Structures are given as structure tokens and as C-alpha cells.
């Protein structure tokens, strides 16, 4: 596991895209979108009350 993380970090530094780095970027982007969506939903719920 640690070897894989170091390999991914090395690939990022070399600007070499792998499936692992692309997957990690997709996961991070998805989580940030989910967080923004939840913030919008909660603000909308509390605004109507």
C-alpha cells in the first residue's frame, strides 16, 4: 500500500497520468461536489423555514 502511494506521488511529480492518479482525482472531485451539493440542500431547507 505504501509503495503504491509513493509510486503515485512520483507519477504526479513527473506529470505521468496513471489509472490510479485519475481515479484518485475523480474520487476527490466527486467528494467536493457532494459536499457542495449537501451545503446547497441544507441552505435551501433552512431558508424556507
pLDDT at 34 over 90: yes
Structure confidence at residue 49 (pLDDT): 57
Cβ–Cβ under 8 Å, residues 7 and 17: no
When pLDDT is averaged across residues 11-35 and rounded to a whole number, the result is: 81
Give 24: exposed, middle or buried? Use CB within 10 Å, 0-12, 13-18, 19+.
middle
8 A C-beta contact, residue 4 and residue 10? no
Which of 1, 37, 39 shows the shortest CA–CA distance to 20?
A: 1
Q: Look-up: residue for cell 431558508?
A: 47
Domains of the chain, residue spans: 2-48
Higher pLDDT, 33 or 5: 33
pLDDT at 1: 60
Amino acid at each position: 500500500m505504501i509503495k503504491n502511494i509513493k509510486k503515485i506521488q512520483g507519477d504526479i511529480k513527473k506529470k505521468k497520468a496513471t489509472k490510479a492518479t485519475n481515479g484518485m482525482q475523480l474520487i476527490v472531485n466527486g467528494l467536493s461536489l457532494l459536499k457542495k451539493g449537501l451545503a446547497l440542500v441544507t441552505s435551501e431547507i433552512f431558508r424556507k423555514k
